[in-house]
Structure 1
Amino acid sequence: MIKFEHILLGLFAQRPWSGYDLKKWLTEGGKFFRSNADQSQIYRLLARMEGNGWITHTVDPREKRPDAKVYSMTERGRAELLEWASSPYVPPARFQDPDFLVRFVFGGIVDPVALRTLLDTELAARRDQVARHRGRDRTPRFVDAIPEVDVDRARLLLELSHIRGMSEIDAWITWLEEMRVALDAAKVTTPPVAPPPSP
């Protein structure tokens, strides 16, 4: 499971950030990685990360505004980020999980084989999910439902929700396949080498 610290370390790998700039990025471009991160939470986390020796700060004097702390990554932070980035990816039950997305977006810090393995692992997990669950009996069963439950409407809503879920996971699989082709074509990823067949 992705920790907020790893998202921030991935950002610090690219450049120094102030707490204000991190909040702005998380509210705009990063909202799919971490939602509802308030400013005080970010500053508490930055203090903890600095206490761990992962980041350090300098003070940037601002005219007619409060001075800003600008944080940058240390060698210990770099080691922590690389350890997380190279750790095995275990696909969660829910697709489109932030752990995959963060690993994918920050995939420039891992080697090409690891990036391709990440894509292959997620793709295999989602194909397997579809194969195991697509044809299952989805008949909802209502036993002693409360009087307010409109059973026919509840059945319809469950089915419509399922149809939406099917289209979303199918689109996710298509996107993963497209990413694999595009990154291989750009020579960004390297397919893992298959072991030779047994004699």
Structure 2
Amino acid sequence: MKFEYVLLGLLARRPYSGYDLRKWLETEGQFVWARAHHSQIYRKLAQMETDGWIRHEVDAREGRPDAKVYRLTPSGHDVLLACVHSPYEPPSRFQEIDFLARFSITAPLDKEAAIRIVETELDHRRAQIAKNRNRDRTLHYEDPLPELDQDLDRQVHQALHELGASAMDRWVAWLERTLHRLTEGKPVQ
């Protein structure tokens, strides 16, 4: 998911200054988007304004520098909805920022599209589990380095598999709960 769609999704909620967008991304938005440097935010806002997706008004502030407050334009609204309704392709790794950003933007704008995203992600992860959970994970060694501790290597490999399997199971359980809440009309927690 492109960063500009995250910004459009935030501006769908309310007008924001660049500073307020950065503060939101650093706190509430830390699970929606990886750290965004303030220069990246301002560059994207400038490009989005050039593209006609947003506009700004100057908010005069006494004793502080004036702030540009950004709002969606009708064109930005259309671009955001096109993103919301575009097909979702699950990334190879689960819990990627792409799903989290896409879901957080889509759910409040189109519940049915959010359901499709969760179903797609859930189907993909279940298929990954079916394909990989019980595969042969035997490590094979041929002329390993003398320092390589094969027993420890096997233990670490097994521990990492257990960690990954557990994390995947928690992810699938969260997707299942979220899908149930979306389809039963209960709020997503």
Per the normalisation by structure 2, the TM-score is 0.92
Specify the SS of the correspondent of 1:13.
Answer: helix
Percentage of pairs with the same residue: 49
For residues 63 and 163 of structure 1, what CA distance do their matches in structure 2 show? 57
In the superposition, relative to structure 1, how do residues 78 and 148 fare at CA in structure 2: closer, same or farther (>3 Å)? Answer: farther
Aligned residues of 2:60 and 2:67 also touching (Cα < 8 A): yes
1:54-76 residue CA offsets vs partner (Å, 9 max, x unmatched): 11111111111111111111111
Alignment match, 2:164: 165
Aligned residues of 2:94 and 2:168 also touching (Cα < 8 A): yes
Aligned residues of 2:33 and 2:101 also touching (Cα < 8 A): no
Alignment match, 1:120: 119
Structure 1 or 2: more helix by fraction: 2
* C-alpha deviation, 1:123, in angstroms: 0.9
* C-alpha deviation, 1:45, in angstroms: 1.1
Alignment match, 1:176: 175
Alignment match, 1:108: 108
Superposed, 1:8-157 pairs within 5 Å as 8-106=7-105, 107-110=107-110, 112-157=111-156
Specify the SS of the correspondent of 1:30.
Answer: helix
For residues 49 and 145 of structure 2, what CA distance do their matches in structure 1 show? 53
* C-alpha deviation, 1:141, in angstroms: 2.7
- Structure 2 residues not aligned, in runs of 5+: none
Aligned residues of 2:90 and 2:124 also touching (Cα < 8 A): yes
Equivalent residue letter for 1:140: L
For residues 147 and 33 of structure 1, what CA distance do their matches in structure 2 show? 44
Equivalent residue letter for 1:102: A
Give the paired residue count.
186
Aligned residues of 2:32 and 2:104 also touching (Cα < 8 A): no
Q: Does 41-50 or 136-145 show the bigger shift?
A: 136-145
Alignment match, 1:193: none
Per the normalisation by structure 1, the TM-score is 0.87
